[in-house]
Each structure stands twice: as C-alpha cells, then as structure tokens.
Chains A and B, each alone.
Chain A
Amino acid sequence: MSENSEKTTHFGFSEVPEGEKAGRVQGVFNSVASKYDIMNDVMSMGIHRVWKDAMMDWLAPRPGQKLLDVAGGTGDISFRFLGRAGHGHATVLDLTEPMLVEGRKRAEASHLADSLNWVVGDAMSLPFDDNTFDVYTISFGIRNVTRPQEALNEAYRVLRPGGRLMVLEFSQLPNDGLQKLYDLYSFNVIPRMGKAIAGDYDSYQYLVESIRNFPDQETFLGMVRKAGFGNAKYRNLSMGIAALHSGWKL
C-alpha cells in the first residue's frame, strides 16, 4: 500500500483518508449552495459583512487589477473587489459547480458578467499559468483545503511579482475563557440554526468543527511565509474569531 493511501486528514473532528476530504467538502457545499450566503449572515449575525469590508479596506483594490478568488463560491468577494476597484477582472474558482452557477446568475443580473470568469478547480493544483494575477483572495475557504500549505504555494506561483495574497478565515480567540464561550455558542447554536434554515445539521456541524481545527494566527502566518510570501502580517477581526493574513510576492 502506498504511503498516501494511509494518510488521513481532518474532516471536522473526524479523521478521514486524505483522498476523501475534497469529495466530502464538496458534499457539504453542494448541499448548502443556494442558502449559503443567507446562512453566513445568520451564523455570524451579519458580522461576516464587516469582516469582508475590513478585508477590502486592507486590500485596497485598484482599477484594472486581475483577481483570482479561490473558493470564491457565489462570487461575494469578487463582486466587492470589482465594486471597489471601479473596473477590473475577477476569476472565481471553486470545487463546487452549483455555487458558481448561482454566482454567475447574480453576475448577469448585475451586468457584471463580462468582468468575471467562473472555473471549477482545486486550490492545490490551480489551472493557471505562473505570474498571472495581481491579487489572490481566499475567504472562508482555506480551512476546507486538504493541505493548506499546498494552496498557499500555488497562490505564490500564480501571482505575478508584486502580487498580493489575502486570506480571510475563522481563527482562534486569544484567551481560554472567550474561546470556551465561543465554542459553547458555535457547537450548540450554529448546527441547529443550520438545520432550521438550510435543513442541514451535519454540514454546519462540520463547519463548526473545521473552524476549531484550523491553525491559529501565528502558525498560519508561518505557513504564509513558508510559501515564499514577504512582508507577511495578520490582523484579528472581532478579537480573533476571524483573522486576515496578508503577504506579498516580492
């Protein structure tokens, strides 16, 4: 038996063979696609919008920039980026086809279709040439990638020199008391809300567990640096419930 087939990875709190994770994550998102954005609103009590605004503030999109929005789903980040840049181009990549189809409908409705492309692909093996994009974003997506370090390495590869990486992800609270309180909320409330709103308890249970398993701010910063990014930094959002990591391909 090859070494690879015995390797396991986190799927929420369960250990699953590495080869199965992508399919299972796809299952989660296929099952929540159309209600995903509404659920994000409800789950974070609207705060994810504030976090995404903070992401755009730090990113400061400029006219004419080319964005690659990985795990971009329905294009939420791309729409914000294009709105701030004035004009530019965004490529939305996701593992899940129904999310992209949903996003494309929205792009057509808002007459942005010409500024956007939609691609099904894997963050660990991007279907793009080296040095292609000015900006790479991944928002609430990297913790679902089987091997996040490989996704960061790929981000570095497809960015042009001078290009910028920006990662928005749930993170860890700085003290145990707060973390316990947040765990209590997230483990008890979110899966139930998921069931009530999207009719899907298990998917939201997975989301909560995967958040708790993701590396903390400093560990992830080390991974960003390891991929080759310079001037790497992070900012906590809502005390560390989420964090932004930024890096440059120098």
Chain B
Amino acid sequence: MRPEEPILRIRGLRKAFGGIRAVDGVDIDVAAKTITGLIGPNGAGKTTLFNMVCGLYAPDDGEIWLGDHRIDGLPPHLIVQEGIVKTWQIPREFRNLPVLDNVILAARAHPGEQLVNLLIRPMSSRRTERRLERAALDILQIVGLAELAEEPAKSLSGGQKKLLELARALMTDPQLILLDEPMAGVNPVLATRLMALIQSLRDAGHTFFLIEHDMEVVMSRCDRIIVMHEGRKIAEGLPAEVRRDPAVLESYLGG
C-alpha cells in the first residue's frame, strides 16, 4: 500500500535533555489508513518523539501537524481532543476501576464529566453514559475482553492489559493511534492476534504509528517503516527497502 495524504506531519522536531540531543531535527510523514513502524536501536529517540507528539513533552523546536491543525506544545488532554492517542509500553490501566469503566472513561466530551452538568442537566449525562456504555462494550467485543467488562482492571493478565490499552485508545475515536511497543511482554500467540487485530483496524480506516523492537512483526506487518538513530531519521520506506538500507544495517550491527 502506498501512502497518499499524510495525516501526521512532523517538521524539524528537536528535543534536548541537558546536553543529550534526544531528537535532533526529525521530519516524518505518517499516511492515513496505514501502519507505520518506527524502529531504531535503544536511545534512538523514538519514545521521546512519541512523547512530544502526544504532548507529554514540549518540543524545543519544530512543528507537529495533525491534518491542518498545528498541535506541538499543546497539553496531552487537548491533543487527545485533536485526535491523537497514545498507548503505553507498560500498560497503565486504572487498577481499581472495572474494565468497562476504563474504556468509557476514554470517551471524549462526556457531559457527565463536567461538574456543572451533573446539577443542571443530569438526564443528558445519563443518556450519554448509556450510549457510551454500549459503545465501550462493542469495542471490548472487538478486542476480546467483553467477558471481563465488570472485573477490576488489576485482575487482567499482562496481555489482556495490552488489549485494554488498545480498547481505551479506540474509545477516544482517534485519527491517529500511537502504539509504544505493543508487542513487548506479550506471548507469541497473543502477539499474532494483536497484530492481526491492528491490521483489521487499519483496514477499517484507522491509522497506526508504532514503535516496535520485534523485527519480524515490523517487517511483515507494517506498511511503511521509519528508522531513527541517535536522534535523527536515517531511513524510511517500504519494509523491503529499509531491510537492505546500508545505513540501517550499520546502525543496528555496526554502531
């Protein structure tokens, strides 16, 4: 699949921590309705880049555009309103909330989350809650956690928590989903299922941008791959192109 219209455009992005230039002038395009993989050795700046896109870090320099909205420097909760959501490498579920509430919580613009609406418009808040409850159950059905909807999230296994992360991300109705190492710590059977799920969601129109260390997954499942090394982008292209790129081989093997 060839990328058409880039949905995410990053231009000249920089971030330094003290003297370390973690991300050092990176340009990236992510096309809509694709799975774009971001790879690179440890310390390449992948997670820092993700944290800037989702708003956890403010960039030192550069621009991030989602469609025609410039989003760099916005706080994370506003970036979610724009349409970008991130999952965590190590799942960060709300342990003492039921699985279902973990998912409903992620919905955007719930009137019942505004204190004043509880007093002046209680019924519309309740109706929204009902509607979101059904939507959340549908999403849990898709990721295969519907049976566990009423369990506290802390009772899920590690792999199920990864699925919950994905379900919560979907619930925000995002234009772009950032996945930070979705396969890390997941057993091979579940990993295959998870990747098939991500591909079917891509086919349904979702856009994924993911960091992953499992080369087999990246090469076989991503539509396009971007390689970072020491804060810079050193290669990008189709999996087959990237695989043969001398700079990539150098960064992984030579270093």
Answer yes or no: are A and B bound together in one complex. Answer: no
